[in-house]
Structure 1
């Protein structure tokens, strides 16, 4: 009868690959087979990952150390490792545990050790699968992300989830020789994490710069940790992001204080993930570089085509019209020709402006007054619903100093805002002329100046069809 019950217990213990479920079944069946008043299991190592610190409640609420009740202690081995100990206390009638009781419990404990070992292998395999899938997903995401900041955030977020960490943090080298947190992914308040730095000369930094990972049991108390946010965290991994012999940065995965430490398997998988993520970051950066180069080359080609074909043809057409206007008997068409010439000159100016815009780097802020004016007019298009027409006369980038350019941009910004607020605006023209001479009232000596003119065709009052012109001038 007891052998039948033992067989049923062995089969039941092996039905669950979850370590905690296996252990609870083990304790319950051991108590049932022996008639023990209480049963408990204590692990030998409190840092065994998902199996850490497991201790079941006493079966009948009887304290394990109650009086002089009979005790039976049977070790549980997983391979060569002593995993823990099954403790049984008290029997009905106060009699001792028999040799048969001990034999039954040892058979059950041996089988439980095999099941736990299998569960460990299964858990490790699942962990490897998750990390491999995560690394593949990160690589795919990095090769499709648009910006470097998005790529770093992707690495930090995915690593945090895979490691079951409290935060995923990316640090990058600073000009002073230290490292600074540039990206942080955490479900809690990230305030104060980004910007925290490791000072130059730190032992942790030296180890990371040498390409070695750093594993910390408690970030809050470890003397090697020097950032001002270390008190928030407990166990942590700091993994160098290194590719082609170059240190890109560091991936840090801290857990909360009091959380279980990282296992050897988790450390290995996270280190492998960091190596693959570093390579993916390098490849993604190279891809973005190639795309930027392709954009620059395409812009150069378009700018050359505009200059060599469109502008030259416009000049040739303008010369033909000018010649026609000067012929005898052309008085009747002179007004038409004058308007056509004005339109051609305006078109040439707009094409030149487009060429300059194509030559500007899309990644960086515009340089020079011309580029800054174009940025302001482009921004105003969102308010106006259409892009303003912009014209430049003279070498505005060379002739206009920065202090004058700043005031001009302020005036331009205000004029565009006012134009956007007037009803019926369908056309806005912005002109910057760096060849003007200021009126005597502004500069008695006739000094050269710069003039900003902003015209819009909006309605300012009843019967008004002339639009509004705003003029701003300054000496150079």
Structure 2
């Protein structure tokens, strides 16, 4: 029995066909425009603008789904002016409403009036009215990247089937463009982290440790887009001590020790990275380290199984969490910084060994050559004294022999000090200051003069003393590397009264070098000031002791 054949698809009405033909060049131009850039955010802006023009929509937006598929990591919009956007306030997070439904079920949605859809949860205050709605998912290499939203077709009509079809084609092209932009962005991001690692390595191997650790903090903060970056090293009494902070806010945290009882400290010292979504609510961050911040990365500075310290990079509350890529790059950066720290430590050990060998050689020369010749000279003078018949000559030679005896005793004391290991020396502040001065004498080529005022060893606390020694080391290092000085005078005064009336200690080091260049680096001086301010003190610099005030005088002071 014959059957009726099914009719084929009906052609669009003449008016719609003409409209479609007219819009094909517009679609091709839109596809070309979307794929013309490399950077991700400008590409998203261009997609929104192009889609709005293609469909004659007043507003367009792209909601970028976070890597966990739970909400929006970014929201790029077109058509809402900056003033209105500021009044609206916080951007949608995609956890609820129609946007949340599209994240959970990424299929095209076309609504004549989105306010009547049961999934809609309304608009915040100051939001412009929107009714017609068109939502299309954007896929990148088969994975959902986000959704393209279009609202409020000009003229007030609903979006048509042709609008939907063209936006779907545009979304496909957008997925290709976004994939290309993401690859470019990832390559640029890796390049920035690599450049940061190179800067850290260079700083660690070419300068003082404190300056280099500050570079680690500054680079980590810049690369991770964090509100702050903190470097911690193991403290003598256990736990981790804050040794460098990079932040826009004034910090008095330098020298603060996070106790070993902290759960996070135990994990970091065990070599485990810790990632926190919200430090203000995470119970493990109930310390002053990052409490009050938002997302945070706490990374061990670890190399070859050895944990040298920790790097912490928190973002402000409400900021987006760190992505997996950012976490991976940050862990690699921390490992590279730890390796650079180990290399710098080995370099300092080699330099220290060279100093010890030089001290030992000087001690041998003093003993084998200088003392013997002085002793021989003294014996000759004794003989001349016995043969002299003139009382004045006899008395003068006797005084010269006595002076030689004193000189020999002083040289023997110097030989003993040169051969004494720094670890064998007493731990008083006076002795530690002298040790730093003696250590600096070898690279400087001369020994800085020194003077102590007041009971330095008894009134200055251990914490202040440790920071004073670090400040002295930084000052002498700067004088050696930059000043070209031939004279340095060091004074430690434990009898000063600070501006707030509290008793304190003052370290001053004056040289006759070239002074501080107008456009020279100030990182060492900034380190000294931060260290003093963390104790409630201050640091400053002024003219030196060269001719006409040449050179530099650095003053560092803090409470006892």
Does residue 412 of structure 2 align to residue 352 of structure 1?
A: yes
1:208 aligns with 2:229: no
In structure 2, relative to structure 1, the CA distance for the partners of 1:250 and 1:375 (3 Å cut) is closer
- Greater alpha carbon shift after TM alignment, 350-359 vs 251-260: 350-359
Match of 2:59 in 1: 38
Moved more, 234-243 or 93-102: 93-102
Question: 1:316 Cα shift?
Answer: 1.0
**Residue 274 (1) aligns with residue 323 (2):** no
Contact 1:199 1:226 in 2 (8 A): no
Paired residues of 1:12 and 1:25 also in contact (CA < 8 A): yes
Find the aligned partners of 1:154 and 1:65 in 2 and give their Cα distance: 52
352-361 or 150-159, larger mean C-alpha shift = 352-361
CA distance in 1, matches of 2:272, 2:133: 49
- Say which SS state the counterpart of residue 53 (structure 1) adopts: strand
Over residues 120-152 of structure 1, what are the superposed CA-to-partner deviations in whole Å (9 max), with x where a residue is unaligned?
1111111111111211221222122334x3443
Spell out the pairing of 1:278-427 with structure 2 (5 A cutoff).
278-327=338-387, 329=389, 333-359=393-419
Kept in 2, the 8 Å contact 1:58–1:64? The answer is no
Distance 2:437 2:233 in 1: 37
Partner of 2:247: 186
Pick one of 150, 157, 165 that aligns with 1:103: 165
Q: CA 1:17–1:373 in structure 2 vs 1: closer, same or farther (change >3 Å)?
A: closer
CA distance in 2, matches of 1:318, 1:250: 60
Do 1:20 and 1:54's aligned partners in 2 also have CA atoms closer than 8 Å? no
User: Counterparts of 1:309 and 1:128 in 2: how far apart (Å)?
Assistant: 60
Q: Is the 8 A contact 2:39 2:184 kept in 1?
A: no
Q: Decide whether aligned partners of structure 1 residues 223 and 281 sit closer, same or farther in structure 2, where only a CA change above 3 A counts.
A: same
The partner residue of 1:263 within 313, 323, 329 is: 323
Tell me, in whole angstroms, the C-alpha distance in 2 between the residues paired with 1:84 and 1:297.
66
Task: Check if 1:168 corresponds to 2:189.
Answer: no
Q: Which runs of 4+ in 1 moved over 6 A?
A: 362-378
* Residues 1:195 and 2:256 are matched in the alignment: yes
TM-score (norm 1): 0.70
Paired position in structure 2 for 1:464: none
Distance 1:333 1:59 in 2: 104
3-state secondary structure, aligned to 2:284: coil
**SS of the residue 1:16 aligns to:** coil
CA contact (8 A) 2:231 2:244 kept: yes
Q: 1:341 to 1:367 in 2, by over 3 A?
A: farther
Does the CA contact (< 8 Å) of 2:388 and 2:394 recur in 1? Answer: no
Q: TM-score, normalised by structure 2?
A: 0.60
Distance 2:143 2:403 in 1: 90
1:54 is matched with 75
Q: Which moved more, 1:36-45 or 1:234-243?
A: 36-45
Structure 1 match to 2:139: 77
| Residues in 2 aligned to 1:59 and 1:151: alpha-carbon distance in whole angstroms | 46
CA–CA distance in 1 between the matches of 2:414 and 2:391? Answer: 35
Report if aligned partners of 1:169, 1:252 keep a CA contact under 8 Å in 2. yes
Residue 218 of structure 2: aligned partner: 157
Q: Tell me the secondary structure at the aligned position of residue 138 of structure 2.
A: strand
Matched residues in 1 for 2:231 and 2:352: separation? 25
Distance 1:101 1:372 in 2: 79
Q: CA RMSD, aligned part only?
A: 3.8
Distance in 1 between the 2:294 and 2:180 partners? 30
Q: Deviations over 1:405-437 (max 9, x none)?
A: xxxxxxx999xxxxxxxxxxxxxxxxxxxxxxx
Q: 1:125-164 maps to which residues of 2 (within 5 A)? A: 125-147=187-209, 149-164=210-225
- Judged with a 3 Å threshold, the aligned counterparts in structure 2 of structure 1 residues 320 and 373 are, in CA distance, closer, same or farther, namely farther
Deviations 1:137-178 (A, max 9, x none): 21222122334x344333223222221222222233446654
Cα-to-partner distance string for 1:15-59 (whole Å, 9 max, x where unaligned): 3323232222222222222223433333333989xx932141446
Are the structure 2 counterparts of residues 364 and 275 from structure 1 closer, same or farther at C-alpha, using a change threshold of 3 Å?
farther
Unpaired stretches in structure 2, ≥5 consecutive residues = 1-21, 85-111, 117-129, 439-446, 452-456, 459-490, 494-560
Partner residue, 2:178? 116
SS in 2 for 1:83: strand
Flag the structure with larger Rg: 1
CA contact (8 A) 1:172 1:250 kept: yes
- 1:423 corresponds in structure 2 to none
Deviations 1:339-376 (A, max 9, x none): 53344334334433543453456799767999699789
Moved more, 217-226 or 344-353: 344-353
Give the count of matched residue pairs: 383
- Residue in structure 1 matching 2:36, options 3, 11, 15: 15
Change (3 A) 1:3 1:198: farther
8 Å contact 1:76–1:85 — kept in the other structure? yes
Query: Residue 7 and residue 194 in structure 1: after superposition, are their counterparts in 2 closer, same or farther (change >3 A)?
Result: farther
SS at match of 2:288: coil
Deviations 1:305-354 (A, max 9, x none): 11211111111111111112212645574344335334433433443354
Distance 1:388 1:282, change over 3 A: closer
User: 3-state DSSP class of the match of 1:256?
Assistant: coil
Asked if the contact 2:61/2:75 (under 8 Å) is kept, the reply is no
Matches of 1:180 and 1:369, distance apart in 2: 21
